[in-house]
Amino acid sequence: MPLLQLAGVSKSYGAEPAVDSLDLSVDEGESLVLLGPSGCGKSTLLRMIAGLEAPDSGKILLDGRDITALPAHQRPVNMMFQSYALFPHLSVRDNIAFGLRREGLAAAEIATRTGEAMAMLEITAFATRKPHQLSGGQQQRVALARALVKRPRMLLLDEPLGALDKRLRQQTQAELRKLNRQTGITFVFVTHDNDEAMALADRIAVMQHGRFRQIDAPRRIYDRPVDRFVANLMCDTNLFNAAVESGSGGLVAARSGTLLLHYSADADRPTRNGRQELALRLEQIEISRDPLPPAPNTACGIITDIDYIGDMTGIAVRLDDGQILKASQLNALHEPLLELDQQVWLTWDADALVPLKAEPA
């Protein structure tokens, strides 16, 4: 039995549904990330799981028990917000122990569990400091220790890393994954950052307008997005609305402008009115300075834009028919840099083109 089950859960504010009849299962020990733009309903869904919001309809079950009407303080879950809300007048140790004292645990038990939590998060040296004496990353660890010390069945995290700089955010992501594996606590994590979602998730649930667009493992979400919305959310992508011409041997021929495209058919993503939308990620394209013979999945054009970002270079190439293709490549040592107005040839494999489902109405 899944640890958490949602059945037909809905929540509206006025006429607009924030969460629209969602079904979801989360397994014990799983790290599930709710990913989507602001206003898609992910935080509302998290707050309903926590008991901070009541659904208009549907059920929330934990360990098979209906907790839909159970108050937040009676649910074996803890929630961590982007604002850490540490008590400024309490030390690190007392902030972490606060919830245990409210439960009336024995002093020895409180001391043991608080010490274990501080050791796990490597903040024992800061035990007597007040929050204003800590860096943002240290405050984040204290808030996480406070959430973990109560040993919840599930930890809910609502964009808790948003206030951290890039390097510290990446370090904390690794620590959260380590904690998830070490403690076995189930994580449900809300973010609008797709890189963060990829780093933290066993599965990603992509949301838009209060509904799930795709729930899958991170690699499959990235490699096989179901539609245009998911493809664009996960990474910068070339999109073709191609006219299908023929199909044989598992390959389909289609045309977008002057481009002849060959892609692998997908029975779950059929053509619609003789057209098929296709996605092509930038890093799947090979860039050549030497001429290539005309062939399917090959293009020639002029570089109109270059973005040098350290380990990668992104380029935009204008084809003869005016189409713009974007590509990226690793910056290899001693390889000459690309230049504006340079002619280049682009090529990619048929399997790199991903057929997308038609956008829902």
Model confidence pLDDT, tens digit, residues 20-72: 999 999 999 999 999 999 999 999 999 999 999 999 999 999 999 999 999 99
Helix axes 92-102, 107-120, angle to 10 degrees: 130
- Same domain, yes or no: 192 and 268: no
Distance between CA atoms of residues 51 and 202, nearest Å = 24
> Taking the model in full, what pTM does it have?
0.87
Mean pLDDT of all residues belonging to the chain: 90
Q: Over 90: is that where the pLDDT of 171 sits?
A: no
pLDDT for res 333 = 67
Q: Tens digit of pLDDT for each residue in 222-268? A: 999 999 999 999 989 999 999 998 876 678 999 999 999 999 988 77
175 belongs to a structural domain: yes
301 and 246 co-located in one domain = yes
Among 158-172, 281-295, 334-348, which range has the highest average pLDDT? 281-295
Kindly state whether residue 289 falls inside one of the protein's structural domains.
no
Q: Which of 83-92, 150-159, 280-289 has the highest mean pLDDT?
A: 280-289
Torsion angles phi and psi, residue 74, rounded to 5: -100, 0
More confident residue, 82 or 149: 149
284 pLDDT exceeds 70? yes
| pLDDT, tens digit (0-9, with 9 covering 90-100), for 202-212 | 999 999 999 99
31: domain CATH number is 3.40.50.300
- 43 with 175, same domain: the answer is yes
Tell me which residue range forms the domain holding 28.
Answer: 4-223
Structural domain count, the chain: 2
Whether 288 is covered by a domain: the verdict is no
